[in-house]
Structure 1
Amino acid sequence: MEDMERLRFWSGKRVLVTGATGVVGLNLVNTLEKYDAEVVALVRDWVPKSGLLGKWLYGESSVKLVRGELEDYNLILRTLAEYEIEYVFHLGAQTIVQVGNRSPLTTFKANIEGTWNLLEAVRILNQYSDDIKAVCVASSDKAYGASTILPYTEDMALCGEHPYDVSKSCTDLIAQAYGKSYGIPVCIARMGNIYGPGDLNFNRIVPGTIRNIIENKAPEIRSDGTPVREYFYVADAVDAYLTMAEKVSSGGLAGEAFNFSSGEKFSALEFIEKISGIMKSNLKPVIQNTSRNEIQDQYLSIKKAEEILNWYPKHSLENGLKQTIQWYKEVLK
Structure 2
Amino acid sequence: MRIVVTGGAGFIGSHFVRQVIGGAYPGLAGAEVTVLDKFTYAGLRANLAAVADSARLTVVAGDVCDPHLVRRVLTGADLVVHLAAESHVDRSIEGAAEFVRTNVLGTQTLLEAAARAEVARFVQVSTDEVYGSIEQGSWDEAQPVRPSSPYSASKAAGDLLALAYHRTHGLPVCVTRCSNNYGPNQYPEKLIPLFVGNLLEGRTVPLYGDGGQVRDWLHVADHCRALALVAEQGRPGEVYNIGGGTELTNRQLAGRLLELCGADESLIEPVADRKGHDRRYSVDSTKISEQLGYAPRVPFEQGLARTVRWYAEHRDWWTAQR
Question: Is the TM value for this pair above 0.5?
Answer: yes
Partner of 2:319: none
* Percent identity of paired positions between Structure 1 and Structure 2: 26
- Equivalent AA in structure 2 for residue 111 of structure 1: N
Moved more, 306-315 or 217-226: 217-226
Instruction: Provide Cα deviations, 1:131-166, integer angstroms capped at 9, x if missing partner.
Output: x22211111111112344531111000121331121
Partner of 1:28: 16
- For residues 10 and 43 of structure 2, the distance between their equivalents in structure 1, rounded to whole angstroms, comes to 12
Task: Tell me the CA shift for residue 306 of structure 1.
Answer: 0.7
**Which of 93, 102, 106 is the equivalent residue of 2:85?**
93
Task: Tell me the CA shift for residue 106 of structure 1.
Answer: 1.1
Partner of 1:106: 98
Task: Tell me the CA shift for residue 332 of structure 1.
Answer: 0.6
Answer whether contact 1:21 1:47 (CA < 8 A) is retained. no
- For residues 91 and 154 of structure 1, the distance between their equivalents in structure 2, rounded to whole angstroms, comes to 20
- For residues 5 and 50 of structure 2, the distance between their equivalents in structure 1, rounded to whole angstroms, comes to 13
Aligned pairs (5 A) from 1:170-181: 170-181=157-168
Partner of 2:184: 197
Answer whether contact 1:224 1:289 (CA < 8 A) is retained. no
Instruction: Give the alignment's TM-score, normalised by structure 2.
Output: 0.90
- For residues 208 and 148 of structure 1, the distance between their equivalents in structure 2, rounded to whole angstroms, comes to 27
Answer whether contact 2:148 2:278 (CA < 8 A) is retained. no
Aligned pairs (5 A) from 1:270-309: 270-284=252-266, 285-309=268-292
- For residues 77 and 276 of structure 1, the distance between their equivalents in structure 2, rounded to whole angstroms, comes to 48
Aligned pairs (5 A) from 1:229-248: 229-248=215-234
- Equivalent AA in structure 2 for residue 24 of structure 1: I
DSSP-derived class of the 2:44 partner: helix
CA RMSD of aligned residues (A): 1.8
Partner of 1:72: 66
Task: Tell me the CA shift for residue 52 of structure 1.
Answer: 4.5
- Equivalent AA in structure 2 for residue 182 of structure 1: H
Alignment of 1:150 onto 2:151: no
Instruction: Give the alignment's TM-score, normalised by structure 1.
Output: 0.87
- Equivalent AA in structure 2 for residue 33 of structure 1: I
- For residues 285 and 254 of structure 2, the distance between their equivalents in structure 1, rounded to whole angstroms, comes to 24
Instruction: Provide Cα deviations, 1:182-232, integer angstroms capped at 9, x if missing partner.
Output: 221111110111110111x22211001111121122222234311100111
- Equivalent AA in structure 2 for residue 87 of structure 1: L
Answer whether contact 2:11 2:47 (CA < 8 A) is retained. no
- For residues 161 and 209 of structure 1, the distance between their equivalents in structure 2, rounded to whole angstroms, comes to 24
Alignment of 1:258 onto 2:240: yes
Q: 1:179 to 1:104 in 2, by over 3 A?
A: same
DSSP-derived class of the 2:148 partner: coil
DSSP-derived class of the 2:64 partner: coil
Alignment of 1:330 onto 2:313: yes
Answer whether contact 1:141 1:298 (CA < 8 A) is retained. yes
- For residues 238 and 161 of structure 1, the distance between their equivalents in structure 2, rounded to whole angstroms, comes to 26
Unaligned runs of 5+ in 2: 24-29, 317-322
Number of residue pairs aligned between Structure 1 and Structure 2: 308
Answer whether contact 1:40 1:64 (CA < 8 A) is retained. yes
Answer whether contact 1:29 1:39 (CA < 8 A) is retained. yes
- For residues 77 and 224 of structure 1, the distance between their equivalents in structure 2, rounded to whole angstroms, comes to 48
